[in-house]
Amino acid sequence: MGYLSYFFSTPLGHISLIANEEALLQVHFEKKKTTGKNWIIAEAEKQLQEYFAGKIKKIQIPIQLQVTDFQLLVLESVQKVQFGSTITYQKLANILHKPNAVRAVGQALAANPVPIIIPCHRVVGKNSLGGFKGGISRKKILLALEKIDR
């Protein structure tokens, strides 16, 4: 099964989407070589543009995650954080019944292959924004888009 990549401009800069015929596999915050567009990429682009325009609050596209079991637990939990809300790394670790795993939670979020689709930007530090795969400036834009004041 072949993979396709496609990039387009957003308020966050260029975003590259990588997909196969079944699901979205990765989102990157950079310009990558475009090799084509299938229905998954077209739908992901459409929904991302609608999200940035404030027309939708949740992106619903098939995804395939190639992550560890722990990373999967973290990413599944993050998907439950609603638009316009945040959760701290510590609270997320507590939800997973691993209160001492705050750094591991952060590392799992840093490995998120589909940021924005899985809204890891909604996870913040107790007294800071924390990190974000796309950089803090992009995290601030996403939080502002969702009207989250941090």
Rounded to whole angstroms, the Cα distance separating 109 from 39 reads: 27
Helix axes 69-78, 102-110, angle to 10 degrees: 80
- Match 């999200």 to its residue by tokens: 51
Residue 10's contacts (CB-CB under 8 Å, 6 or more residues apart) are 48, 49, 52
Give the three-state DSSP class for 14.
Answer: strand
Q: Which of 92, 116, 120, 141 is catalytic?
A: 120
Based on the residue annotation, tell me whether 120 is a catalytic residue of this protein: yes
What DSSP letter does each residue of 65-113 carry, written as one string? ----HHHHHHHHHHTTSPTT--EEHHHHHHHTT-TT-HHHHHHHHHT-S
Tell me the catalytic residues: 120
